[in-house]
Amino acid sequence: MTSRTVSVPAQRLARWIDGFHERHGGSSRIESGELVLEGSDGASARLRPPFAADHVDSAQGFVDHVSHPPRCAVVLVRRGGFAAAIVTDGRVEASDAGRRHVQGRTAAGGWSQQRFARRRQKQADELVDAAAAYAQDVVLPRLPVDFVVTGGDRTLVQQVLADQRLKALREVPAGPHLAVPDPRRDVIASLPELLMTVRIDLIDP
């Protein structure tokens, strides 16, 4: 048997499930908020929703749940830039993105390396401060939200959310953490689809 992982957006999910049953037969069940498909030939698929689906009790209910994501605040941070957004009803309600550059690491040693490290840390601090300011302006006036979704560099994101200005966001449940490139406008535009995409762990006989 071989295993692999695929990602399927909500608009294709019902057809994907039907296709699995057409190829493998079998049955489906809900287990701990995840949809599990088991084929009669030994194939299986575990569908993991981006947001908890503890109330779901059928495959159709699972698809409906994924197709109607909750209202989310989104904070994206990477060393090349940052973004803040509100996503609701499958659309980006508000957003803004900025750029800051944080230099990569250097292999140089001695005093030059220490000076470089201080400059690099200063750049990272400026990026975190700017990202927190953007989140304050974009997100806080539009609360409440159901989840805070993050993406990019986990350490930088944690530093942004630790900013005292964003205290209100630390009281909101955490949603998924997204793997995204530098947050530009095309990344922001893709957020609704990303928040309605299911990760599927497949085992093929």
Share of the chain above pLDDT 70, in %: 91
Mean pLDDT throughout 162-184? 96
For 79-109, give the DSSP string.
TTEEEEEEEETTEEEEEEEE-----------
Tell me the per-residue pLDDT of 64-102, one tens digit each, with 9 for 90 and over.
Answer: 999 999 999 999 999 989 999 999 999 999 999 998 666
DSSP state of 173: P
Domain-wise residue ranges, the chain: 2-69+196-204, 72-194
Q: How far apart are CA 111 and CA 34, in angstroms?
A: 54
Q: What is the CA radius of gyration of the chain?
A: 20
Tell me the per-residue pLDDT of 99-146, one tens digit each, with 9 for 90 and over.
Answer: 866 655 555 555 566 766 677 778 778 999 999 999 999 999 999 999
Tell me the per-residue pLDDT of 4-23, one tens digit each, with 9 for 90 and over.
Answer: 999 999 999 999 999 999 99
Global confidence as pTM: 0.88
**Does residue 171 surpass a pLDDT of 60?**
yes
CATH number among 3.30.420.60, 1.10.8.80, 3.20.20.70, 3.40.190.10, domain 72-194: 3.30.420.60
What three-state secondary structure class fits 161?
helix
How many C-beta neighbours within 10 Å does residue 12 have?
Answer: 12
Alpha-carbon distances, residue 43 vs 5, 8, 18, 151 (angstroms):
13, 18, 14, 32
